[in-house]
Structure 1
Amino acid sequence: MKIVLQLLASTIGGILFMGVLLFLPAGTFDYWQAWVFIAVFIVGTMLPTVYLAVKLPDALQRRMKSGPWSETRLAQRLIMIGLILTVIAVGVVSALDHRFGWSTVPTAVVVIGNVLVLCGLGLAELVVIQNNYAAATITVEKDQPVVSTGLYGVVRHPMYVGAMIMMVGMPLALGSYWGLLTMIPGVLVYVARITDEEKALRQELDGYQEYTEKVHYRLVPGVW
């Protein structure tokens, strides 16, 4: 019952946050791209969440403990604040773009953006299914194994790959090209998170150093 109430509160809070983030700077509710994006985001998060609640409740509990103050490392608290500010920037810039007509984005591109959002969310949830210890915070639990198969056999941080795919899709889904500029600070923040996270994992997770020698790339094979 407790987890159901937490999910309900999280869903309502997410809808309110998205509504304020998008419609306030847009200055109107006549913003169909925002309505579609919110619906896609809710479906893309709720369906996998229900699956986790039924099949992998422990993994869901790890995912629900999130936010800057849930992090144990000061660097990660600051980085999480940076990630939140990046999401806010994407929404605000995209909404202002809609308000002032800076971009002309075809409906087909908006659809592609929503597909990218769904793919990014789906990839992130698939990571959790393959690695039940993939928490929303940087933590290492007792007897936690190093997962090196599946998506983790391709890159070391597949969840962040999913997040960055969604980051590309969000401004397009909201009908904005200018919103893509927020990817620049967003990528830098993710690089900082990964760098600090790997420092912690090398120190605290047995076998992680050997894993990095087996899987060389963090986000993009052949690049980094």
Structure 2
Amino acid sequence: MITRLVLQTTAWLVCMGALLFGAAGTLAWPAGWWYLIETGGMSLWVGFWLARHDPGLLAERLAPIVQAQQSRWDRFFMVAVAVMWSAWLVLMALDAMRYRWSAPLPVWLVSVGSLSIFVCIFMCMIVFRANSYAAPVVKIQASRGHKVIDTGPYALVRHPMYSAALLLFIGTPLLLGSWWGLACVPLLVIGIGWRAVREERVLAAQLEGYTDYTTRVRYRFVPFIW
């Protein structure tokens, strides 16, 4: 499984690098290299941790983004996310490097972006520690004894991984230096908000105790906001 983790992470980094540097028109982009190093290095770190502590969850995380157990809407969503994420990376590279539509961001904002990405991935590891069923697709994992998780970050919000994703959405354009990329963040937030609502309908219908959980934990992403 470690081999698969390394191969999939490498392929993912190569694809992102091709999108970023191809659109930028140059390899002389320190922020682009740092983005790949930070996201790739931390992803491997979390993956190695999962291989040791929860190989079942790691297997779920490495599975294809389109699966037979998914609802049709979630298959469409995952494919749309892959397309939109790729387009977003291309836009930020065009903006920050090739055409330089955005004025250069101050160093402190770029640093905030890098820190946000770090905190996002660290938060994901906390989520994985609390929830062994945190698969990337919406499905009930009956074979693994799927049950409601209401401890750790799940005692605060119903979708803590989506909460972490908000930091990634903000941190990525800040690190890469793209105001246009930052302007797209509300669309990304709306997208995962839509998925969260649909996901809850599936869980309420198919996972025992989930409806009671939603009455105890009111907020989805951010306490006291939504």
Q: Assess same fold via TM > 0.5.
A: yes
CA displacement, residues 119-151 of structure 1 (integer Å, 9 cap, x when unaligned): 111111210111111111111122322111110
CA shift for structure 1 position 7: 1.0
Structure 1 residue runs without a partner (length 5+):
none
Residue 7 of structure 1 pairs with residue 5 of structure 2: yes
CA shift for structure 1 position 83: 1.8
In the TM superposition, what are the counterparts of 1:48-197 in structure 2 within 5 Å? 48-69=46-67, 72-98=70-96, 99-103=98-102, 104-142=104-142, 143-197=145-199
Could you tell me which residue of structure 1 aligns to residue 16 of structure 2? 18
SS of the residue corresponding to residue 184 of structure 2 reads helix
Contact kept in structure 2, 1:70 and 1:137, CA below 8 Å: no
Structure 1 vs Structure 2: percent identity of aligned residues? 32
Question: Structure 2 vs 1, CA of residues 66 and 121 (structure 1 numbering), >3 Å: closer, same or farther?
Answer: farther
SS of the residue corresponding to residue 68 of structure 1 reads coil
Partner letter of residue 76 of structure 2? L
CA displacement, residues 7-38 of structure 1 (integer Å, 9 cap, x when unaligned): 12112201211111100110111111100111
Partner letter of residue 201 of structure 1? L
CA shift for structure 1 position 88: 1.6
Partners of 2:182 and 2:66 in 1: CA distance: 24
CA displacement, residues 72-114 of structure 1 (integer Å, 9 cap, x when unaligned): 1111111112222332232111101121112211222112101
Could you tell me which residue of structure 2 aligns to residue 203 of structure 1? 205
Partner letter of residue 105 of structure 1? L
What TM-score, normalized by structure 1, do the two folds share?
Answer: 0.94
Partner letter of residue 139 of structure 1? K
What TM-score, normalized by structure 2, do the two folds share?
Answer: 0.93
Contact kept in structure 2, 1:90 and 1:171, CA below 8 Å: no
CA shift for structure 1 position 173: 0.8
Contact kept in structure 1, 2:158 and 2:221, CA below 8 Å: yes
- Of 205-214 and 131-140, deviating more is 131-140
Could you tell me which residue of structure 1 aligns to residue 34 of structure 2? 36
Partners of 1:66 and 1:192 in 2: CA distance: 21
Contact kept in structure 2, 1:124 and 1:162, CA below 8 Å: yes
Structure 2 residue runs without a partner (length 5+):
none
RMSD of aligned Cα (Å): 1.4
